[in-house]
Structure 1
Amino acid sequence: MQANFWHQKWEKNQIGFHLPAANPLLVKHFFALNLKQGSRIFLPLCGKSLDIAWLLAQGYQIAGAELSAIAIEDLFRSLNLTPKITQKNTITHYSAPDIDLFVGDIFDVTPSMLGKVDVIYDRAALVALPVEMRKKYSDHLIKLTQLAPQLLICFEYDESLHAGPPFSVGADEVKTHYQARYDLTLLASEPVEGGLKGTCPATEHVWLLKPFDSVVNAA
């Protein structure tokens, strides 16, 4: 899947994946991460998600990566913030108090650019990528964030009934990408009301991923 696919979606405002409110599964399960206020949360492929406004309101700092400048400019307008904009190689960095967003190819974002993050919230990234890109993405995410814990939300459905994105990512695939480095806990599985884009039944799974070192230290 090429970058042009997503640029065209934003240019044509074909953003059915954009929710009109903070994700209810985030609101319900985020505190399983047991984060301190002021912790820095990374949202890969964040778009202009209203989850960002919700997390800022809870007292967290936000970092995000997004391909579309249109999405990020819309986001800052919605937050009534004027960002400082700087260029770092192929990545455009939009920043304001408590928020750093990196526009460009997420694979061009480096750990030194991103800085330290305390946790990853992946609602729309892993499921947005075709199967041939997901291993590269999960490996990059681990290196980029120094193995930060994750709250991961995935869709699962019969892909013969719907052509993604979002793509179906089941438990076996989550384990393939992450079980070597993380302790995986399935927090919830809930049916998607009305089905996926109204085309087929689907389930959303909420995963908590904790690095093995943190699990041992907490024991």
Structure 2
Amino acid sequence: MTFWHERWKTEQIGWHRDSFNDMLTKHWGNINAVKGCEVLVPLCGKSLDMVWLANQGNNVIGMEFVSDAIQAFFKENRLNPLTTVNRNYTQHQSKPFTILEGDIFELESNVVQADAWYDRAAMVAIEPSLRKAYVDQLRKATKNDAVGLMITYTNPQQGMDGPPYSLTDEDVAKLFSEGFEWKCLEKISLDPPNESDPNSPTSTVFEIRRAPRIT
């Protein structure tokens, strides 16, 4: 976590985009999320994608542990949030936005029960050893029939150094094998001139839906 706090403090936030994500605007309608639902955005930073989701009529619930990122989001969008301190998190709210400040892995299951979720860079930002715990938290923070849109990053030439950490399609299949159904919506090359090279980096867009556990 120190890494991310330092990055925000020194404004070394190259992952942040000053526009809406193309894959979000292209595929959100394809996952059939109910309009006007609660959308969870884990490790949201100050992402403008939250604004796009709100513009579709949704209530957006972000999760973030870096205070600087949260303050930047509300300031840059000219919002004055109401802040409430709770036991394991601090809530910042200016409808339709609610951002919960704290450790995502310590959030209790009854705090959020979202209808949908969006992950552009959350799972690839955390260490691989924490991925299973992240999926467990998604399960706790979403309703039984919730649906998600996840955008991954894969670099076959990357070792464990990160973030971002390479997340393969096989990793996704394994991590979401219990209690979820998933399908690939699109796979794109991040290095178009060399897209035929199997070692070139790619990004995959997944629809991931909560499903009954098999017992």
Alignment-derived partner of residue 93 in structure 2? 95
Give identity over the alignment, percent.
Answer: 32
**Partners of 2:72 and 2:205 in 1: CA distance:** 28
SS in 2 for 1:150: strand
Residue in structure 1 matching 2:140, options 116, 140, 143: 143
* Inter-partner Cα distance in structure 1 for 2:102 and 2:192: 33
Aligned positions, number: 206
**Cα pair 1:102 1:109 within 8 Å, conserved:** no
Q: Is residue 132 of structure 1 aligned with residue 133 of structure 2?
A: no
1:211: how far off?
2.4
| Runs of at least 5 residues in structure 1 that lack an aligned partner in the other structure | 214-219
TM-fit CA distance, 1:194? 7.2
What residue number does 1:4 align with? Answer: 2
After TM superposition, the score normalised by the length of structure 2 is 0.89
Do 1:91 and 1:104's aligned partners in 2 also have CA atoms closer than 8 Å?
Answer: yes
Out of 105, 108, 130, the position equivalent to 2:106 is 108
Q: Deviations over 1:12-38 (max 9, x none)?
A: 111011112111110111111223321
Q: Which runs of 5+ in 2 are unaligned?
A: 194-198
The aligned counterpart of 2:203 is 204
Deviates more, 1:81-90 or 1:146-155: 146-155
Aligned with residue 73 of structure 1, among 64, 71, 74: 71
Q: Which amino acid aligns with 2:86?
A: K
Identify the residue that residue 217 of structure 1 maps to in structure 2: none
Partner amino acid, structure 1, of 2:208: L
Contact 2:33 2:147 in 1 (8 A): no
- Rate the CA distance shift 1:206–1:95 in 2: closer, same or farther, 3 A: same
> Which one has a larger percent helix, Structure 1 or Structure 2?
1
Equivalent residue letter for 1:208: E
Runs of 4+ in 1 over 4 A off after TM superposition: none
Q: CA deviation at 1:112?
A: 2.1
The TM-score normalised by the length of structure 1 is 0.88
